[in-house]
Amino acid sequence: MMKVTEIKSLIGTVGGLKVEFTPFLNRELPEPLYSQLYQWIKKEIEDDRLLPGMKMPSIRQLTTHLKVSRNTVESAYQQLQAEGYLESIAKSGIWVAEIEKPSLQPEDKIHAVKSDCKPSSNVVVDFEYGNVDLDKFPVKQWKKCLTDAVDQENNWLFEYGEKQGEFELRREIANYLLQSRGVRCKPEQIVITSGTQSSIALICRLLELREEHVAMEEPGYSGVRTVFEDQGCYIEPVPLEKDGLSMEHIQSSRVKAVYVTPSHQFPIGMVLSISKRIQLLKWAYQTGGYIIEDDYDSEFRYRGQPIPSLKSLDEEENVIYLGTFSKSFLPSVRLSYIVLPPSLMIQYSQKSKDYNQSVSPIIQRAMSLFIQSGEFERHIRRMRKLYQRKHQALLKSIEEQMGTKVEIVGEKSGLHILLKVKGVKGSELIENGLEKGVKVYSPSRFWMNPNAKRNSYIMLGFGGLSIEDIEKGVGILASCLP
């Protein structure tokens, strides 16, 4: 089928060997060039013409030789890296990786070629955000909840489960929210979802946000931004001030909904002031707009009085509240929820009547037993103390070892911090750290505006690290500073 109209050739001196690069790139095919390039290189590797340990031509070299855009080569390389065919080694280049080729024979035990593979490198301390603590987790109790759930009588195990989520769990969440966040709601207003992104997709459907404008903090959670974009929304990035998002921007906009993280702005970390909360609610009442309050990590506040949630201040019905068990319990339960204002319940049941619930009732019932037993409360209390100690250790190490070369950004809460670095680019520090075995992250994807000064930040998650590792990691990182 493939008609070849263009043959490009490049001799690469790779790994001491000469290898001829002759990808057949055909601009007339519907398949994009990067994809053709990706397929070709992959085949070369699979057929052992490119061998593990060979160095690939640089992106620049290949771009020039193939007369394609930089993007084309970059995308192909990225994909090959994601699939484990190539490996990028900092300051050294891109290499053909050592992989076990998966066979089609089911008998062979195929080795894991992870699609979001982490470099098989010498990382000693990984400040990845999203992980939670593992030492103090009540494994035994959780296992008991799982098996007790399966044992619960009734036929639920053999059915699809309630579309809105198991009632038991919604009841526990309603109780929990009242006690911990001052949110008064009935189980009937709660919808269980399989993650905050699913919550957002559901809200887009409910509020009919396609082709509508939606405001988000800039920077803000990219996972949510992607969903809004994929659902056809136009995002209005709203700049941040010391006390949260700029209300002037909201007021002069024509957005139908505002997505905010008022308890602990993601990723910067400030708290939305009470006066801005009131202004935001007023804006909603006046325009009929909706506020989507993402209260993702409010359980972990280490200092000062918590400010009431927007939902608890909402006197009309304009706040949609989002919660998750990913921080307070385990990201691997994939369990989140929405609290809808009663006025949206009809739309909900009309627009969702044909949708099945996507969280397994087994997980939902286990979680509800876990909450009922009091374990969840205890777990949160334990974790709050533990994370507070980790947070303190992190700040102390940074102050002691990095001094004025960095500035700690954000409030005293949550499971991550941002550092503003001085005298060096964030990306350089990340690379240098990686070489010495410390992984820290760039928060740059959280900015929508590519021209923002986002390269001065690095992001450190600490939930899954021990205090020793935190101290060690900061020490190594400090040694990478100029």
Q: What is the DSSP letter of 116?
A: T
Phi–psi pair at 262, nearest 5 degrees: -70, -35
Q: Does 71 bind its own copies (CB under 8 A)?
A: no
Contact 246, 239 (CB under 8 A): yes
State how far the Cα of 87 lies from the Cα of 52, in Å rounded to an integer.
10
State how far the Cα of 302 lies from the Cα of 410, in Å rounded to an integer.
12
Q: Which residues bind ligand PLP (CB under 6 A)?
A: 130, 195-197, 221, 261, 266, 294, 296, 324, 326, 331, 336, 356
β-strands 406-409, 438-439 pairing: unpaired
Nearer to ligand PLP, 36 or 164 (CB): 164
Shortest separation between residue 169's beta carbon and its own copies, angstroms:
11
Q: Does 178 bind its own copies (CB under 8 A)?
A: yes
The 10 Å Cβ neighbour count of residue 203 is 26
Distances (CA, A) of 277 to 218, 231, 263, 321: 17, 27, 11, 14
Nearer to ligand PLP, 221 or 370 (CB): 221
Cα–Cα nearest to 179, from 48, 374, 35: 374
β-strands 86-89, 93-96 pairing: antiparallel
Q: Does 392 bind its own copies (CB under 8 A)?
A: no
Nearer to its own copies, 61 or 75 (CB): 75
Q: Does 13 bind its own copies (CB under 8 A)?
A: no
Contact 158, 307 (CB under 8 A): no
Q: Which does 221 bind (CB under 5 to 8 A by kind): its own copies, ligand PLP, none?
A: ligand PLP
**Pick from 16, 18, 48, 106: which binds its own copies (CB under 8 A)?**
106
Q: Which does 333 bind (CB under 5 to 8 A by kind): ligand PLP, its own copies, none?
A: its own copies
Q: Which does 35 bind (CB under 5 to 8 A by kind): ligand PLP, its own copies, none?
A: its own copies
- The one-letter amino acid code at 291 reads I
**Pick from 182, 232, 239, 482: which binds its own copies (CB under 8 A)?**
232
Site string for its own copies, 190-229 (x = CB under 8 A): ----xx-xx--x---x----x-----------xx--xx--
Q: Does 291 bind its own copies (CB under 8 A)?
A: no
Contact 281, 310 (CB under 8 A): yes
Nearer to ligand PLP, 336 or 397 (CB): 336
Q: Which residues in the 319-358 window bind its own copies by CB under 8 A?
A: 326, 330-335, 343, 345-346, 349-351, 354-358
Contact 474, 392 (CB under 8 A): no
| Bond from prior residue into 219 cis (ω within 30 degrees of 0) | yes
Q: Does 118 bind its own copies (CB under 8 A)?
A: no
Nearer to its own copies, 86 or 429 (CB): 86
Shortest separation between residue 440's beta carbon and its own copies, angstroms:
17
Distances (CA, A) of 198 to 166, 275, 354, 402, 475: 17, 31, 16, 40, 39
Q: Does 380 bind its own copies (CB under 8 A)?
A: no
**Pick from 24, 40, 156, 302: which binds its own copies (CB under 8 A)?**
156
Q: Which does 296 bind (CB under 5 to 8 A by kind): ligand PLP, its own copies, none?
A: ligand PLP
- The one-letter amino acid code at 221 reads Y
State how far the Cα of 174 lies from the Cα of 337, in Å rounded to an integer.
11
Q: Does 29 bind its own copies (CB under 8 A)?
A: no
Nearer to its own copies, 19 or 33 (CB): 33
Alpha helices in 187-246 (DSSP H): 196-207, 222-230
Shortest separation between residue 265's beta carbon and its own copies, angstroms:
19
